[in-house]
Structure 1
Amino acid sequence: MLEGINVALGVTGSIAAVKTVELAHELRRQGADVRGVMTGSAQGIIHPWAVEFATDNDIVTEITGSVEHVDLCGYDGWADVLLIAPATANTVGKIAGAVDDTPVTTCATTALGADTPVVIAPAMHEPMYDHPGVLEAIDTVADWGVEFVDPRIEEGKAKIASEEAIVCDVARAAGKGVLEDTHIVITSGATGESLDPVRVLTNRSSGKMGRAVAKACYARGADVTLVHGFVGPQPVTRDAALPDGELPYATVRPVESAAEMLEATREACSDADTLVSVAAISDYTVEERDEKIRSGQERSLELEPTPKLIDELRAAHPELPIVGFKAETSGDEAAMIEQARETLSRAGLAFVVANDASVMGADRTKALFVHEEDAARYEGTKAGLGGEIADSIAAIVGGAQSKYLD
């Protein structure tokens, strides 16, 4: 998500600075190069050597005649984005007032003057976060274009946001915004058709691919709605089902059945610019029993077909660009392309991503971008495929370039 991005990581004197090492590691795992900048108070909480180890770069602990702030965040500076995480109330107030008495605030003033993107992740006690002066400072700095990663309000504290939330907002700030001012709706996960109050008919989808597409679209500036179903049977070491509410990169609409997914997607697409149908939606449903089906008896299920989501949405929105997914089990590439083109033609899709069902639940995938006349191969991580899909969507809605589109 952050491949080729240079991140200047400002660390201030919040106890949340103890999370800096893992945050720096995560930024680097996502592809970023990281250089640390620390206030004196931060050095009293975490040793500069720890940040140096985590970033594998020298640390700025004071501004000298080498004008480190200009080298990092000035015109043509090294950093593509300045991330201040954690940021104390003191630091946010100083940035709003252009007070440059620490290496971090000096870098912030320089970055703001040079139009270098700035992302701030506050961390402090909740009463401090609710102080009118702190809120006014946040509003002031946000009006200048600074991105704030909202803290988690727990146990009377405004705790620093999750690493995932911070990484997503850094990627969005450092990106080119090719999907800015667009609304992308993505379906993800599996559906579950209730047999009785206990049992469901579902599939092995993990939802990883849909979430990867959502993250990639968010990083490129889109507003994302994620209509997310079940997370199918997976080992306990894999992701659990998503909770209701918000993800750092999307508004989540949790659903269970194919009918619920269709209805939620219809509502979300009322103002959508693109629909990406990634979810493994059940082709069949059953009549639910009111009570648990007793074991020890032979049973048969009468399966009833469910409406095709992409066909329903195409009928409702004839001009909406729709990206489809097609999973097959044959392992025959020619057959996968043929089936994908049938879906492409039937529903008037922008393109179809075809893959083998064996990748369900995995982190890596093999896929084909299928168009009417040609097909392009992809092999790599699902995160990488999500980025390629987002770039292809940008080519459709905004005229950007994509190697997977004609």
Structure 2
Amino acid sequence: MTVQTLAGKEIAIGVTGSIAAVETVRLIHALRRKGARVQPVMSTAAQGIIHPDALTYASGRQAITRISGFVEHVTYCGDGGSASLLLIAPCTANTIGKIACGIDDTPVTTFATTALGSGMPVLIVPAMHHSMFRHPAVVRNIRTLESWGVGFAGPRIEEGKAKFADIDEIVLRCERAVLNKPLAGKRVLVTSGACREPVDDVRVLTTRSSGRMGSELALEAYRLGADVTVVHNDILPCVQNVPVETAGGMLDAVRKYLKKGSPDLYISAAAISDFAPKKVRGKIASGKPVTIDLSPLPKLIDHVLEHSKTRVIAFKIGRTPLPGAEALLARGAWMVVTNTPESMGTATGSYRILTRRTKTGRPVTGTKEEIAARIWQEILSDMNKTGGS
């Protein structure tokens, strides 16, 4: 089940004359799955690429193709307008230039002028040939809009084109733009996923962790306004990704991060290797029994607890009761989230949230996205009770 992060929010989506306009139907569907009400607005050039009926069907609302006596731009984006965000996707170089110069000769640019004048959040998704995106005037216009507080998503530079950003990234940036940003100004560090310890040049020792829980916690932190860094073996949109493979690499990355200052919160969601084999050069011959000696590895969370004053949210896997969770709280962890082995590598799970005040724990079940949202609710609630900083 998708968490309805945009429930109660209305998004006006301006569509301009880029071939990427064909992606808008999928984008509208994605926003609606998150609970948003979506109102399409189209330039004349956009109507030459995708028919207004397609966006009317996708949104369940009549696409606006001209400004009428109903002054639609004021209704949605004026002072006290009903929209929470103006999203322009895709946005051409031409439209970027017009908005930066205060020109409103299409329904989309008229919506933009009104939204900027009223202080409404505006998010632009550029799409054009790469040479156009590099044009000095386009670069200047984007910088001008950014200085006014306008957000940008993408583009993806591929095949000589500044392509439409990934749908998931656009939705994520929309969520951040319209939510209250309770984590604004906070630095969040997340370690996530499985480590892979080399046995030989071919084989690795790892766990069943998919990294989904850590990823969802990191994305939720971004939605809530944080500056997020994730140390893992994956790539997430909108956050700082630090790639690592081994437990040693993860420890080194965290040490390097801490040298620049402690984060406001550290979430230890990774299934970090407890043991590592002595790597054998080449490939161990198959067909015969093999003995692998495992050496214990330093505990990353111990290093953070000893060398940082940050709030630590630890994860612990095992069956309840779990003495190790209480031990982590006693050693300074701010919160411990426990889960059973069955939750590893799955889309759903059963977890329990423990703090120093609720050592019996609060049970949480559902998809990893739902659980991440609930964990952050508990974190924010506890931050408010203890002063927030």
Once the two structures are TM-superposed, the CA of residue 364 in structure 1 deviates from its matched residue by 2.2
Relative to structure 1, the CA distance from residue 400 to residue 29 in structure 2 (aligned partners, 3 Å threshold; closer, same or farther) is: farther
Once the two structures are TM-superposed, the CA of residue 171 in structure 1 deviates from its matched residue by 1.2
Match for 1:262: what amino acid? L
Q: 1:372 aligns with which of 331, 356, 365?
A: 356
Once the two structures are TM-superposed, the CA of residue 57 in structure 1 deviates from its matched residue by 2.1
Contact kept in structure 2, 1:152 and 1:160, CA below 8 Å: yes
What is aligned with 2:333?
Answer: 349
Q: How does 1:1-400 map to 2 (within 5 A)?
A: 1-229=5-233, 242=234, 247-270=236-259, 271=261, 272-317=263-308, 319-328=309-318, 330=319, 334-336=320-322, 338-346=323-331, 348-374=332-358, 375-395=361-381, 399=384
Structure 2 unmatched runs, 5+: none
Contact kept in structure 2, 1:217 and 1:387, CA below 8 Å: no
Contact kept in structure 2, 1:186 and 1:210, CA below 8 Å: yes
Match for 1:121: what amino acid? V
Contact kept in structure 1, 2:334 and 2:356, CA below 8 Å: no
Match for 1:290: what amino acid? R
Residue 245 of structure 2 aligns to a residue in which SS? coil
**CA RMSD across the alignment:** 1.9
Q: TM-score, normalised by structure 1?
A: 0.89
Once the two structures are TM-superposed, the CA of residue 384 in structure 1 deviates from its matched residue by 2.2
Contact kept in structure 2, 1:356 and 1:366, CA below 8 Å: yes
Once the two structures are TM-superposed, the CA of residue 32 in structure 1 deviates from its matched residue by 2.0
User: Deviations along 1:361-380, whole A, 9 cap, x unmatched?
Assistant: 22222211111232222222
Return the alpha-carbon distance in structure 2 between the equivalents of residues 268 and 32 of structure 1.
37
User: Deviations along 1:122-161, whole A, 9 cap, x unmatched?
Assistant: 0011121111111111111111100011211112211111
Structure 1 unmatched runs, 5+: 230-241
Return the alpha-carbon distance in structure 2 between the equivalents of residues 265 and 201 of structure 1.
21
User: Deviations along 1:268-324, whole A, 9 cap, x unmatched?
Assistant: 23322211000011111111111211111111221211111111111111x211101
User: Deviations along 1:40-65, whole A, 9 cap, x unmatched?
Assistant: 11111011111112112222111111
Match for 1:298: what amino acid? P
Once the two structures are TM-superposed, the CA of residue 401 in structure 1 deviates from its matched residue by 9.9
Match for 1:344: what amino acid? L
Residue 63 of structure 1 aligns to a residue in which SS? coil
Once the two structures are TM-superposed, the CA of residue 393 in structure 1 deviates from its matched residue by 4.0
Relative to structure 1, the CA distance from residue 273 to residue 138 in structure 2 (aligned partners, 3 Å threshold; closer, same or farther) is: same
Return the alpha-carbon distance in structure 1 between the equivalents of residues 339 and 172 of structure 2.
26
Q: TM-score, normalised by structure 2?
A: 0.93
Return the alpha-carbon distance in structure 2 between the equivalents of residues 8 and 386 of structure 1.
28
Q: How many residues align?
A: 380
Match for 1:257: what amino acid? T
Residue 321 of structure 2 aligns to a residue in which SS? helix
Contact kept in structure 2, 1:88 and 1:122, CA below 8 Å: yes
Return the alpha-carbon distance in structure 2 between the equivalents of residues 19 and 84 of structure 1.
13
Residue 176 of structure 2 aligns to a residue in which SS? helix
Residue 165 of structure 1 aligns to a residue in which SS? helix
Residue 70 of structure 1 aligns to a residue in which SS? helix
Contact kept in structure 1, 2:90 and 2:126, CA below 8 Å: yes
Residue 8 of structure 1 aligns to a residue in which SS? strand
Once the two structures are TM-superposed, the CA of residue 37 in structure 1 deviates from its matched residue by 0.9
What is aligned with 1:237?
Answer: none
User: Deviations along 1:311-350, whole A, 9 cap, x unmatched?
Assistant: 1111111x2111011122x4xxx414x442222223x111
Match for 2:344: what amino acid? M
Residue 335 of structure 1 aligns to a residue in which SS? coil
Match for 1:120: what amino acid? I
Percent of aligned pairs with the same amino acid = 45
Match for 1:8: what amino acid? A
Relative to structure 1, the CA distance from residue 41 to residue 107 in structure 2 (aligned partners, 3 Å threshold; closer, same or farther) is: same
Match for 2:241: what amino acid? V
Residue 282 of structure 2 aligns to a residue in which SS? coil
Match for 1:306: what amino acid? L
Residue 242 of structure 2 aligns to a residue in which SS? strand
Match for 2:342: what amino acid? S
Match for 1:52: what amino acid? T
Contact kept in structure 1, 2:364 and 2:374, CA below 8 Å: no
Return the alpha-carbon distance in structure 2 between the equivalents of residues 130 and 356 of structure 1.
51
